[in-house]
Amino acid sequence: MEPELAVALPATGALFTADQLGLGLSISPLSRALLLAAAASLTLVVTFAPQRAERALLLTWGLAGIAGMAAIAAAPSLDLVILVTLAIALLQAAVAGRRPLAARLRAPALAVALLGAGLVLARIDGAPILAKFAAVGLVAGLAAAVGILPYIHEFDAEEVTAASPVVWIAFVGPILALEIVTRTRDLIPSAAAAFGAMLIGLGLLNILWGSLASWFSEKGASAWHFSFMADWGLLMCAFGVPVADGQSAAVLVMYGILLSRLPLYLWSRQSLREKIQTDRPINLLAAAMLAGSAPFAGFAARVLLLRGATQLYWPLALVIAIGLLLWLPPSLRLGRSLGLPKVRQAAGTAIALALSVAIGLYPQPILSLAGL
Amino acid sequence: MTAAAGFAAWIGAAFIVLADGRRGLAAGIGLVDLGFTVLAWTNGLWPEGAILLAGGAVCVFELVRTGPQEWGLMPPASTPRLILALVVGILSLWVAASVTTGPGAALRFASLAVLGLMAGRLLQSQSSIAVLTAASGLALALAGASGLAPGGAGLAPYLFGAVIAAGALLLPAAESRGA
């Protein structure tokens, strides 16, 4: 170390303690469990990436994403969560993509503005309705950050993954959503019911829109993008159900997005480009996993969500149960679009299927890891 | 003093909405930065204010250092932008001064006005420089708004906000590339 630095660093430490900086770092068990899932997902995706994929690029940006997610999880205040989100958005905009920079930055930066406005409204004293407006801002910001209705991100199927909106909807999104939802509940307890109702409403809308659009969309890659939206609908409903089963369902849905849907989407890109569709057993198994059939993790998540929704208000469970049927046709289509996986992808798909079955049959270790 | 600082932040954000040229955007971000710095200083947050000032100054420097130096203020067909700037200002003033109570009305006004106008600019603009300047404005506004946190949010939001504001304009306006 240079002598000047050796003097300057301890002096800086003496000037600002971690408390003064507002950096009392700690990560909740839920966030820790999600970070582990994200790391596992990245390992799976990079290890079993197709031959033509740029593995180094995927790994570099994936690790950068995980660092950003860790920063979001460790941020001591919602202000810092929002600022870290803005930093991630700017860094992602620096990745060369097919869309113009303005188009790539627009949605996440708008999300930051909405979240910021929600946070300001939550912190000021005044009429009780301000807390509800704060909840509107935070839910709208969350939807814009992830890229679900009412703010779907512009999607280009040919864009490099690190620069595409898939990063938000499938990788960074789950932990960001978790932090926003848990911190908002503490920030505006008086509007918790309104916040939950908005999450459920938006969730149902996304289930309907995402699954139908995934079913009828002409382009295969767009169908995958919409299928993420449908999963997010389920996740938003789970976040909105303030009972233990709802939270457990949310964790399992997020695991499903990170460990099942994201790897399969990335491995299917080549066959989507070559317009290959096959009806082999592996395609059917992948379709069953994506549809949330037993014994995969999605099934356990759905059962827990329905149980939680029944405790909250049974007609809600009925509506969600009807919505769940919409997963089947698009999942069959997405399973076929995987094509006939080559050796490497076949091994990856088998691992993803095995992981999903293990979590579906015995989800308790994951839930315990998440502190549930 | 605080009222003038809040007003300066709003005028700065309005400049960012109304300007397409680098000089106009620099003037806007400079005013936003100055407004939030003075608001932090009047709250007794001296290091925090200084950090914000430095972050914004780097952003202004980046804007005036490179590229064509034009003001580009209120180009043709900018009436909707002018209306947006006025409406957001009036709405923020109403919320900050009338709907809400307690001290810090100027900071509430500045935060809501700048966040609202930057959101508008992000949705409307196709230019990468304008969008990056709006992102810098967002960072400064979020950092400044952390002063509304009960008990204070510490130095970290100011530091992060200043670093983001300073770094946003350093990003390359990336070229197109396929999958």
- Is A40's pLDDT higher than 50? yes
Separation CA A207–CA A152 (nearest Å) = 14
Distance of alpha carbon A107 from alpha carbon A95, whole angstroms: 16
B127-169 per-position pLDDT tens digit: 999 999 999 999 999 999 999 998 877 899 999 999 999 999 9
Closest-CA residue of B relative to A273 is B179
**Band of residue A273 on the pLDDT scale cut at 50, 70, 90:** confident
pLDDT band at A287 (very low <50, low <70, confident <90, very high): very high
> Distance (Å, rounded) from C-alpha A41 to C-alpha A265?
12
Cα A25 versus chain centre, distance: 23
Compute how many other C-beta atoms are within 10 angstroms of the C-beta atom of residue B26.
24
**Would you state the pLDDT for residue A229?**
96
Q: Is residue A83 scored above 80 in pLDDT?
A: yes
Percentage of residues of chain A with pLDDT beyond 90: 74
Phi, psi of A126 (to 5 degrees): 165, -150
What rounded mean pLDDT belongs to chain B? 91
In angstroms, rounded to a whole number, what is the distance separating the alpha carbons of residues A334 and A356?
17
* Nearest Cβ partner for A112 among B101, B138, B174: B138
A103-120: per-residue pLDDT in tens? 999 999 999 999 999 999
Using the predicted structure, report yes or no on whether residue A89 has a pLDDT greater than 60. yes
Residue A281: count other Cβ atoms within 10 Å of its Cβ.
7
Please indicate if any CB of chain A lies within 8 Å of the CB of B146.
yes
Nearest by Cα to B103 from B31, B39, B10: B39
Structure token pair of residue B77: 């067909």
Residue type for position A91: L
Burial class of residue A137 in the structure, from the number of CB atoms within 10 Å of its CB (0-12 exposed, 13-18 middle, 19+ buried): buried
Query: How confident is the model at residue A16, as a pLDDT?
Result: 52
Please give the residue that has the higher pLDDT: either A38 or A344: A38
Neighbouring residues of A264: CB distance < 8 A, sequence distance ≥ 6:
A286, A289, A290, A334, A338, A349, A352
d(CA A233, CA A295): 21
pLDDT at B38: 96
Mean pLDDT of A351-357: 96
Buried b (16+ CB within 10 A) or exposed e, A226-235: bbbbbbbbbb
Burial of A1 by CB count in 10 Å (0-12 exposed, 13-18 middle, 19+ buried)? exposed
**The pLDDT of residue B178 is above 80:** no
Residue-wise DSSP of A65-107: HHHHHHHHHH-SSHHHHHHHHHHHHHHHHHS--SS-HHHHHHH
User: Using CB atoms, which residue from A79, A87, A120 is nearest to B157?
Assistant: A79
pLDDT higher than threshold 90 for residue B36:
yes
Alpha carbon B78 to chain centroid, angstroms: 19
**Six-digit token string for A68:** 């950003």
- Residue whose pair of structure tokens reads 């002018």 in the numeric block: B82
Q: Can you read off the two tokens belonging to residue A8?
A: 């300057």
- Answer whether the bond into residue A150 is a cis peptide, omega within 30°: yes
Q: Is the pLDDT of residue B172 over 80?
A: no
Q: Once rounded to an integer, what is the mean pLDDT over residues B101-124? A: 93
For chain A, which residues make up each domain, given as ranges? 28-41+51-369
Angstrom distance (rounded) from CA B168 to CA A91: 9
Question: How confident is residue B35, by pLDDT bands cut at 50, 70 and 90?
Answer: very high
**What pLDDT does B102 receive?**
82
Q: Please name the residue that has the structure tokens 């404005």.
A: B137
Taking CA A369 as the corner, what is the angle to CA A367 and CA A372, rounded to the nearest 5 degrees? Answer: 45
Annotated domain spans of chain B: 2-168
Give the separation between CA A317 and CA A245, rounded to whole angstroms.
13
Residue B100's DSSP bridge partners are A126
- Do A269 and B179 lie within an 8 Å CB cutoff? yes
Half-sphere exposure at residue B12, Cβ-oriented, CA atoms within 13 angstroms: 31
Say what the pLDDT of residue A96 is. 75
- Whether residue B142 contacts residue A83, with contact meaning beta carbons closer than 8 Å, is answered with yes
ipTM, 2 decimals?
Answer: 0.94
Give the Cα separation of A222 and A234 in Å (integer).
19
Residue type (1 letter), A253:
V
Window 84-143 of B: residues touching A by CB (8 A cutoff) are 99-102, 108, 111-112, 115-116, 118-119, 122-123, 125-128, 130-132, 134-135, 138-139, 141-143
Contact A116 B156 (CB under 8 A): no
- With beta carbons under 8 A apart, name residues in chain B contacting A112: 135, 138, 142
CA B126 – CA B109 distance, rounded (Å): 27
- CA–chain centroid gap for B21, Å, is 16
Chain B's closest residue to A84, CA to CA, is B160
What's the whole-number mean pLDDT along residues A176-204?
A: 95
Name which of A177-181, A217-221, A248-252, B34-38 the model is least confident about.
Answer: A217-221
Mean pLDDT of B18-37: 95
Higher pLDDT, B68 or B176: B68
**CB distance A347 to A47 below 8 Å:** no
Contact at 8 Å (CB) between A48 and A259? no
Structure tokens at A331: 């999942």
Instruction: Kindly tell me if the per-residue pLDDT of B179 is higher than 50.
Output: no
Residue A306: its H or E element: helix A297-312
Angle formed by the axes of helices A78-94 and A173-187, nearest 10°: 160
Element at B100 (helix H, strand E)? strand B100-101
**Window A:203-262, CB contacts with B under 8 Å:** none
Q: Which of A25-29, A132-136, A288-292, A329-333 has the lowest mean pLDDT?
A: A25-29
Given a cut of 90, whether residue B30 has pLDDT beyond it is yes
Helices (H), B43-155: 46-65, 79-94, 105-124, 128-145
**Residue from A288, A289, A265 nearest A339 by CA:** A265
Q: Do A20 and B161 make contact, defined as CB atoms within 8 angstroms?
A: no
Which of these, A363, A344, A345, lies nearest to A355 by C-alpha position?
Answer: A363
- Would the pLDDT of B174 be above 50? no
pLDDT at A17 over 70: no
Q: Tokens 């767009």 label which residue?
A: A222
Distance separating alpha carbons of residues B58 and A156, to the nearest angstrom: 34
CA angle A156, A137, B83 (to 5 degrees): 85
Q: Counting Cβ atoms within 10 Å, is residue A336 exposed (0-12), middle (13-18) or buried (19+)?
A: buried
How many angstroms separate the CA atoms of A61 and A84, rounded? 16
* pLDDT surpasses 60 at A22: no
What six digits make up the tokens of B159?
């530091």
**Residue closest to A249 by CA, chosen among A315, A196, A295, A300:** A300
Q: What whole-number distance in Å separates Cα of residue A240 and Cα of residue A308?
A: 10
CB < 8 Å from B in window 114-153 of A: 114, 116-117, 119-120, 123-127, 130
Q: How confident is the model at residue B171 (pLDDT cuts 50, 70, 90)?
A: confident
Q: What is the pLDDT of residue A302?
A: 96
Asked if pLDDT for residue A14 goes beyond 50, the answer is no
Q: How far apart are the first and last CA of chain B?
A: 53
